[in-house]
Copies of this chain bind each other. A is one copy, B any other.
C-alpha cells in the first residue's frame, strides 16, 4: 500500500477556519513592554517619593530627567549588549556543536536518538530518523542547536533595533509622570496630576500588554497599576524616612 508520505511532504490538511490562534509576542513587542513598564513606573515613583521629602518642583524635574536619561541609556545599551551577546553566543555554541559532530559523531548521533526517543520513536524508525538527520551536517547541527541547546539564531540587526526600542519607550514612558511637575508650580497638585496621568497610562498599558499576550485584559491593567502604585508608595516612604 503506497504511503502518502513516501515522496516529500504531503499537502497540508485543513486546520481551524480562522487559522491557529496562538500568541507569541514578537521581540519588538517585548522590548516595548520592557521599556514602557520601567519608564512609566520608576520616574513616577521617584518623583512621588521626592514629593514627600523635597518640596520644590524644579528639583524633582531635575532628578526625574536625570533618572530618565540614566535609565534610557542603561536599559537601551543593556538591551544592545544583551542582543549582541546572544548573537556571539549562538556563533560560539554552533561552532562547538559542529566540532563535536566531527570529533564524536557516534555520541552526537546518540544525542539525536535520545531526543527523538523521548517523543516515542523506537526501533527501526528511531535508527532511520537519526541517520536521516545526521546525513547532512548543517541540518544535524541545526537540529542540535534548536532541540538540544534550545538556542534560536538571532535575527541580524536585532541589537541596534532592540536598543532604540527599549530606550525610546523608556523616555516616552518617563515623560508622562514628569509632565505635571514641569507645568504646575506647586508640588502637591503636581503629585496628584502625576498620579492620575500615570495611573491612566499604567491601566491602558497593562490592558494592551495583556491583549498582546492573550491574557485577560482587565487583570493585566490592574496588575500593572498595582506595580506602579506599590513602587511609588515604597519610594515615597523611603524618601520620607531618609529625607526627614
Find out whether the CB atom of A50 lies under 8 angstroms from the CB atom of B63.
Answer: yes
Is there a chain B Cβ closer than 8 Å to A28's Cβ? no
Q: Enumerate chain B residues within 8 angstroms of A7, measured Cβ to Cβ.
A: 122-123
The yes or no answer to A218 lying at the interface (CB within 8 A) is no
**Beta-carbon contact of B92 and A70 below 8 Å:** no
- The A interface is mostly helix, strand or loop, or mixed, namely helix
**Assembly stoichiometry (copies):** 2
How far apart sit A143 and B42, CA to CA, in the bound complex (Å)?
Answer: 40
Known: A77-B230, A227-B74. A214 touches B6 (CB 8 A): no
Interface flag for A116 (CB, 8 Å): yes
Interface string of A216-244 (1 = CB under 8 A from B): 00000001001110111011111100110
Q: Mark A103-120, 1 if CB is under 8 A from B, else 0.
A: 110110010011011111
A73 touches B53 (CB 8 A): no
- For residue A38, CB closer than 8 A to chain B, the reply is yes
B-chain residues with CB within 8 Å of residue A122 when the two chains form the complex: 7-8, 132
Q: Could you tell me the distance between the alpha carbons of A133 and B239 in the complex, rounded to whole angstroms?
A: 59
User: Which of the listed residues A16, A85, A128 has the most CB atoms from chain B within 10 Å of its own CB?
Assistant: A128
Does B125 contact A239, Cβ atoms closer than 8 Å?
no
A124 within 8 A of B: yes
Contact between chains at B127 and A3 (CB < 8 Å): yes
Knowing A8-B117, A61-B242, A213-B85, the reply to whether A69 touches B49 (Cβ < 8 A) is: yes
Closest-CB distance, A59 to chain B (whole angstroms): 7
Residue numbers in B under 8 Å from A61 (CB-CB): 242
A24 close to B (CB within 8 Å): yes
Closest to A135 in B: B120
Nearest B-chain residue to A105, judged by Cβ? B13
A192 CB, nearest partner CB in chain B, Å: 18
Distance in Å from the Cβ of A103 to the closest Cβ of chain B? 7
What are 16 A-B pairs with beta-carbon distances under 8 A? A13-B107, A42-B74, A45-B73, A53-B62, A54-B62, A58-B243, A62-B243, A66-B242, A81-B227, A85-B215, A89-B214, A92-B214, A93-B214, A119-B142, A120-B135, A124-B128
Given contacts A12-B114, A22-B96, A72-B234, 7 further A-B contacts (CB under 8 A): A9-B110, A13-B104, A16-B104, A37-B74, A62-B242, A66-B242, A73-B234
